[in-house]
Structure formats: C-alpha cells, structure tokens
Structure 1
Amino acid sequence: MTTTARPDHTRNASPYLYGQETAAVAQALQGGQYGHSHVTEEFEHRIAEFLGVPDAVAVTSGTAALHTALLAADVGPGMEVIVPSMTFCATIQAILAVGATVRFIDVDPTTLCVTDQLVMDAVTDTTAAVIPVLFGGRAVDLLGARQELNQRGIAVIEDAAHAFGSRSGQHLVGTTGALTCFSFGPIKNLTCGQGGMVIPRSPEEADTVRRLRLLGVQESQGERANITTYRVGGFGLRYQLSAINAAIGLAQLDHFATTADTRRHLWHVYRDALAPLDGVVLVDVDVDHAVPHLCQILTPHRDQVFAELRAQGIGVGVHYPPNHLQPAFAAWHRPLPATEQVGREVLSLPFHQHLTEKDIDTVVTALGQALKSAGGS
C-alpha cells in the first residue's frame, strides 16, 4: 500500500492498493502476453465465480461495457433509451454511440436513483432499453416494472459502475436478470487501473459481446492460434481488457471483502458525525446492502459550502451536473425538477479507503463551520 504525506481529506477519491498489485503486474509482464491473455480469462472466471453467474466478459472500461451491452441488446438508430439525467456523461455517450436517442428521467431525491414508476411513466413506443444507474452503490432492480418491460421487449441494462459487490435484497448486483455493466476504473471499489465487465443474460449474449470487443472476429484467441484464417462476422471494436489490467483486478478481488467492510465502516462514521448538523441531508445508499462508492450530502448552500471547504483544502466534489442541462445533450432536454434541485444541492464528501476517522472529523467540523457561515444552522 502506498502512502502520501498530505492529509487524505484533501482528496475527494483515491485508488487503494493492497500491495500485491505490483507483483501481479510484474508476473503478467513476465508472461510475455500484454494484451488479452489467460490472465484476462482468469479475471473473467473469478468475477463470474464471485457473483455466482455462468459468465462475465471483460472490456476496457465501464463505458465500453455499456456500449457493447447496448449493441448486444440490438439497440440502435430510431430507438430510444430511458436513462436518468443524474449520472456521469459516459452513460449518455454510450447511448449516442449506438445511434439511439435519449429520454431523460427524474430520480428519487432521497436516493438519486430511478424508481419503477418513473421508468414506466417514460416508456414510449420507441423505447428499446432502460438504463437504471446504481448511484453511489445503491442497488436498483426495477423488479416492479421488470415483467412489463420484458413483455414489451425493453431491455434492462444496469449501469452498475458504482455498485460492484452491492446487493438487491440477498442478490448481488449482476445476478437479478439484467444485462449488467461494471466499471473497474481508478477510483472504483474494485480497480483494474482501467477496465469494465459485462454480465450477459445468456450464452448467446456472451458470445456477441466477445465478438464485439474484438473487432467482430468470431474465433477466440486460442482458436486463431491453430488456424490459418479467421472470420469477421460483423461490426466490432477494440475493447479487450489487457492482461496487465486484469492482473490488478485479480489482486484487488482477493481483498474485496476488506474493501467492502472498510467502505461501509467509513460511511457509518460519516453518518454518525453528520447527524447533529442542521442544513444537510445525507443521501441514502442503503448501506446494509451496498458497498458505498460515494458519500454525498444535499444542502441548499452547496455552492458556498463547496467554495469554503475547497479553500480549506478539503476535497469535496459534485457528482454529477445533470446531463439534460449539458449543451451536448440539449436536444433531449425536458424539465426534471427533482434532478435539477439535486443538481444544485448535491455535494460529495471525501470518500476513499485512505481516510481515517480523524480525517472524517476534520471534514465534518469544517462542514459545520461552513454551514454556519452560509446561514445553514
């Protein structure tokens, strides 16, 4: 594990390494296959084993996972995808990459997640898919809407970038029947340095994603080693996860139980420390079932508090500016009152495994002072 001389509350998020990652990368390099290799396949196998699912397909990023999932679900031009505006812009860019259009929907302001009712109210004759975003690590299963969505041929593609290891009831995210996309980027709860994973719904879908991630080539790497030609069956992309990144993921996975326990503990510490403060609401991530990715508050004095805490060197952030207000997505703008209010009030507190309880006390003390300055208590 690396350390830093500066206080850990100065960073909003930070990767956390356990010490085995360097040796794992060195071993992958010594193996001589730096791209997709048996190391990548072992990572896929271990993720599938962790989740208890038949298959998992590794790709280069969470955005690549969403892109290939949409393609595997046959979403394309002339179709519409329902998605919350409250997400990182990568979710929207993946929809545009397949030529589909966006229908933004609102969120529950207490969870920053969509609900069954919000989804079903937005369905139209051209809706091809719904992308619920599992914000902050909170699971969203849409079980109340799933039967009708299935009957109408509408795919549920989970953006679970924040939610690896979280549960919906007793079921791990990735096991409830949706086409699920994970991100293993630098600051995620499990990191590959950069990477992603698609959890397919069927063997056929797994085969489709594997072809898509390697330029449409139908034969696997092992099969190509024993033949003089190969077949390109259709459109594809260069989305294969490298052995180097997979090696990091494997080392991280060995310690994931510790990661989950630590992040839940830190979130509980924040919850208890924030309880006496007036003028803030802690965003509910259902911490008993989630592995939290963010710790966020809502305050009507967000901009003043943000500026004051930043001036004190405290690494607060905003996740995320609503996408329906972004110039690139203006064509799909529609009024979303809850999202717009959240967009004005949401503030992400420093949250990562380098934090100590003393760091959290420093953050919350400074937050209380900033709220008083802004008239919040």
Structure 2
Amino acid sequence: MTLFESASRNAAPFLHGPEFAAMSEALRAGQFGHNTATDAFETELAEFLGVPDVVSVNSCTAALHLSLLAAGVGPGDEVVVPSQTFCATVHAILMAGAQPRFADITADTQCVDSTTVRAALTPRTRAVLPVLYGGRAVDLSEIRTELTDLGITLIEDAAHAFGSRLGGELVGTTGALTCFSFGPIKNLTCIEGGALIPRDQHDADQVRALRLMGVTQSQSARIRTTDYQVDVRGWRYHLSAVHAAVGRVQLAHFPVIEEKRKALWRAYARELAAIETVNLVDVDVDHSVPFNCVVRVPDRDRIFATMRDLNIGVGVHYPPNHTQPAFLRWYRPLPVTETTATEIMSLPFHPAMTENDVHHVASVLEQAVLIPRPETL
C-alpha cells in the first residue's frame, strides 16, 4: 500500500501468505465441504483454548442461532441483548423464534454489565447474550449464580473477542456457551466462518446435528451406507474445508496477530491522549485482543464527514438496533446507548497499519475536532 493508504480503510483482512497455499491444497484435494481439514481445525481450536470440544460453523450468526436452540430458547421467550451490536445478533434471536429484550450499556466500554442486565430481566427471560464489544470480555460474575438459579443461560457473542481473556481465563473457557466469528476482518479469519464452544457433550452432539441438516451420521459413516438418517430439523451451517484450511494457518500465527493488534491499539491510546474532547472506548488491552478502535467525540457527524473528506476510513459500529425499523416493536428507552450512538466513531484499525498511519489518523482527527462548526464561522 502507498503512504497512508491503509488509513483510508476502516478494516481489512490480515493474511500471512501461507493461507493461499493452504487454500490451494484444499482445493486440489477435491473435497470442498466438511472433511478432515475441518475436523483438524476444530481439534486445534480446542487445544488453543484448552476446552474439550469446539464446533465449527459457517458464521457467528449460525453459532448464535444454534447456541440459542441448544439453550432451549424458543417462541414466547425473551433474550436480553445489548442494542449496541451488529444486527446479526438480533436476527439470531428472531431465528430461534424468541424476542430481543434490549439492554443498555456503559459509556466507557460500550458493553453490558451486571446492573444493565439485571434491569432488563423479565419473567420471560430465557437467555442473556452479552456482546464482547471491541474484544473486551464482559464480567457478569456478580449475577451469574442468580441467572443460573432463574434457569437463564449465558451465551457470549464473542465475535470480536477471539484470544481475549477475562482475568486469566480465555474467552470461551468460562463455562458459557460462546460464539466466535472468523469473518474477513476478525481477529482470526477463515475468510468466512465461526465456531461455538459447547457447555457439555449434550450441547456438542445437538449442535453438530443441527449444523448439517439434522443428519447425525458422520461423513465417513454416510459413505459406507446406502441411506442416511435425518433425526431433527437442521440447517446448512457447516464450515467448509477450504475455509478451515485458512483458519488453521491463522491459528498457527495468532501470536503475531495478537501482538500487532495490541501494539496498534496502544499506539492510538498514546496519540489520542492529548486531544481534548476525544474519549477512547476502553477495551482493557492488557487482557483483550482489540478488534477495533472506537472513540466518542462531540459533533460526531460533522467530524465523521470531515475525516471521510480527508480520506480517513472512519465508520460507525453500530447504529443501535432498538431504533432500527425492523426491531422497533421491541423499543425501550436506553439512555446511554442512545447518547453514545451519536458520539461513537471507529477509526481505521487493522494489522496492516503502521504507527505512522496511526499518527496520521490522530493528526487528521485533531484537525477535524478543532475546525469550528459552520454556524460559528
């Protein structure tokens, strides 16, 4: 990329090179669906996380949907979820036949906490779905026993948080159903893909059947018979061997990815510290693998337009779901979400960036903040 071209993109995939050879080998093998490469990726993910089992799927949306079904969520149930998330989280709830119960967030983290979750609980709550925004692990230990006693399942949307930790424990190892995304710009990419961490063998068996059209027999077993058996209604959610091949390379290089993302976020923290009125959303970088770099700024829309005009790839992640036309029937006032929705702006953040790129973005942001509003000129 040319000088500062990286800063013109809000996010971008980060590949090391061996991914291309791995994809080519998977293609030459001639079996593009779920096969031994997919199984190997699951085994390696489980070893990395230190968990008994991992179930790979074709997206985090699929992982969320299957996790909700594994938790017994269905029609008539409510799922507590922050409005501050990508709309896929809400769609997964609706796909399970349940309804979202939107929760507020804290301004500093853009995540739910025990107080905001407790305020959203109702007698119909069947699951709580915290979103680990920006890669920050959400600590609900204060109310975890309370949720368990109420028969409420904790399902983590960790789309942003592969490799992050809650204290000393990796996300995915704390006992909750946990869903990861391996989409194009995530901390670890399969180009497209996802995974879920089951709570036990029952969860694992159930979601493995659901992800492959309800067929419970393994691929090798189906090859040896003239028939197969569909035991439950299912979906085409499995991860292909080609995508798994990319994920295996990424996983082997994950320490490099982690260090690049942490170094980039710390560079932003240093550069932005001196800019008044710019507040950096805290991801707890010592324990997190940052997915993005989000600031809160006054007069966001003007600053956003100025940055775009100056070829800086800013974005907004995300417009709140409880004000979206498709979800308005579940609207409830969320003061913090609604206020910060007018302030948040995502700065360019991807491992191809350099510290010079970060300095450039911060310099342009400082200029944009200082430009007077049109009515004051």
TM-score between the two structures when normalised by the length of structure 1? 0.97
Contact 1:131 1:157 (8 Å CA) reproduced: yes
Q: Secondary structure of 1:223's match?
A: helix
- 1:126-205 correspondence runs (5 A): 126-205=124-203
Counterpart selection for 1:94 from 68, 92, 95:
92
Contact 1:305 1:374 (8 Å CA) reproduced: no
Determine if the alignment matches structure 1 residue 32 to structure 2 residue 42: no
Aligned with residue 275 of structure 2, among 271, 274, 277: 277
The yes-or-no answer on 1:67 pairing with 2:73 is no
- Residue 371 of structure 2 aligns to a residue in which SS? helix
Partner of 2:354: 356
Taking only aligned residues, the RMSD between alpha carbons, in angstroms, comes to 1.2
Q: Shift of residue 228 of structure 1?
A: 2.5
After TM superposition, the structure 1 = structure 2 runs for residues 293-304 of structure 1, keeping only pairs within 5 Å, are: 293-304=291-302
Give, as a single letter, the amino acid of the residue that structure 2 aligns with 1:51: L
1-side partners of 2:206 and 2:340: how far apart?
A: 38
Structure 2 residue aligned with 1:57, among 43, 55, 73?
55
Residue in 1 that maps onto 2:254: 256
Q: Tell me how far 1:141 sits from its aligned partner.
A: 3.3
C-alpha distance in structure 1 between counterparts of 2:358 and 2:237, whole Å: 38
Shift of 1:374: 4.1
Instruction: Tell me which moved more, 171-180 or 4-13.
Output: 4-13
1:114 corresponds to which residue?
112
Q: CA deviation at 1:152?
A: 1.1
How far apart are residue 121 of structure 1 and its match? Answer: 1.9
Pair 120,185 (structure 1): closer, same or farther in 2 beyond 3 Å: same
CA apart distance, 1:144: 1.2
Q: Which residue of 2 aligns with 1:232?
A: 230
Q: Deviations over 1:150-169 (max 9, x none)?
A: 11111111000000000000
State percent identity of aligned pairs. 56
Match of 1:320 in 2: 318
Query: Structure 1 pair 6/272, CA: closer, same or farther in 2 (3 Å)?
Result: closer
Cα distance in structure 2, aligned partners of 1:344 and 1:371 = 15
Report whether the alignment pairs 1:123 with 2:152: no
Output the CA distance in 2 between the equivalents of 1:141 and 1:192. Answer: 28
Which 4+ runs in 1 deviate beyond 6 A? none
In the alignment, which residue of structure 2 is the partner of 1:335?
333
Compute the displacement of 1:6 (Å): 6.7
Letter of the aligned partner of 2:70 in structure 1? A
Structure 2 stretches of 5 or more lacking a match? none
Provide the C-alpha distance between the structure 2 equivalents of 1:286 and 1:61, rounded to a whole number of angstroms: 26
1:43-67 per-position Cα deviation (integer Å, ceiling 9, x unaligned)? 1111111000000001000111101
Read off the aligned partner of 1:249 and give its amino acid letter.
Answer: G
Check conservation: 2:137, 2:161, Cα contact below 8 A.
Answer: yes
8 Å contact from structure 2 (residues 107, 340) kept in 1: yes
2: distance between equivalents of 1:181 and 1:95?
A: 13
CA distance in 1, matches of 2:139, 2:307: 36
2:3 and 2:211 mapped to 1: Cα distance?
41
Amino acid at match of 2:45: I
Specify whether residues 141 and 233 from structure 1 end up closer, same or farther in structure 2 by C-alpha distance, changes over 3 A only: farther
For each residue in 1:78-104, what CA deviation from the matched residue of structure 2 results, as whole angstroms up to 9, or x when unmatched?
000000000000000000111101100
- Any idea what SS the aligned residue of 2:342 has? helix
Q: Tell me which moved more, 215-224 or 20-29.
A: 215-224
Contact 1:282 1:298 in 2 (8 A): yes
- Which amino acid is 1:230 matched to? Y
| Aligned amino acid, residue 16 of structure 1 | F
Q: Distance in 2 between matches of 1:253 and 1:218?
A: 28
Partner of 2:206: 208
Q: What are the superposed Cα offsets for residues 351-376 of structure 1, whole Å, 9 maximum, x if unpaired?
A: 00111111111100000000001469
- 3-state secondary structure, aligned to 1:287: coil
Structure 2 CA distance for aligned equivalents of residues 52 and 290 of structure 1: 17
Alignment partners' CA distance in 1, 2:216 and 2:240:
19
Instruction: Note the C-alpha offset of 1:226.
Output: 2.0
Q: Unaligned stretches of 5+ in structure 1?
A: none
What is the CA–CA distance in structure 2 between the aligned matches of 1:97 and 1:373, rounded to whole Å? Answer: 46
Q: Encode CA deviations 1:97-135: one digit per residue, 9 max, x unaligned.
A: 111011001001100000011112211111000000000
For 2:2 and 2:271, the matched residues in 1 are separated by 25
Determine the C-alpha separation between the residues in 2 that align with 1:117 and 1:356: 39
